[in-house]
Amino acid sequence: MPDKRKVRVGFRSWQQDGGVQKFDVPGELFRLKTGWALTYVEKPDDNGVEASNTLFIHSNGLQLRRRGSIFFEQQFRRGELAAGKLETPYGLHAVQALTSQLDSELSDTGGRVEWSYELHMQDQQVGSFRIRLDIREE
């Protein structure tokens, strides 16, 4: 059975348009045979819907699953254009992420995961993001 720890997740996101998102929420960090899994729930959005996030962290990349008013599933591998999907109230869209930076330092007591990427839809860049998660054991 995986080793599980209760943690606090400090989330920071910077977008190309200058938007910054910050929040601090409880989560759980699981040790897996091939890396780590981090789960946390974001506070409700403007529509009152929470987003549940699961991030799988491996030595060769990340996989994010976000479930809320928007469903987002995406792989991130440094230097690669990786396929994903985004489902909004307007339908399902194929997306790709071109990851320029990806670093993680995790231990049983927490650590840091940080990555930067461009999001593409229909062969057009729709955004550029930098995400940093600071994880610490509760």
Is residue 69 helix, strand or coil? coil
CATH code matching the domain that covers 3-137, chosen among 2.40.128.20, 3.90.1150.10, 3.40.50.2000, 1.10.10.60? 2.40.128.20
Q: Is the pLDDT of residue 92 over 80?
A: yes
Domain boundaries, the chain: 3-137
For residue 3, the model assigns a pLDDT of 81
d(CA 65, CA 53): 6
pLDDT digits (tens, 9 = 90+) for 97-131: 999 999 999 998 999 999 999 999 998 999 999 99
pLDDT above 70: residue 2: no
pTM of the model as a whole? 0.91
pLDDT of residue 1: 42
Kindly report the three-state secondary structure assignment for every residue of the chain. CCEEEEEEEEEEEEECCCCEEEEEEEEEEEEECCEEEEEEEECCCCCCCCEEEEEEEECCEEEEEEECCCEEEEEECCCCEEEEEEEECCEEEEEEEEEEEEEEEEECCEEEEEEEEEEEECCEEEEEEEEEEEEEEC
pLDDT for 16 equals 86
Q: What digits encode the pLDDT tens for the residues 49-73?
A: 899 999 999 989 999 999 999 999 9
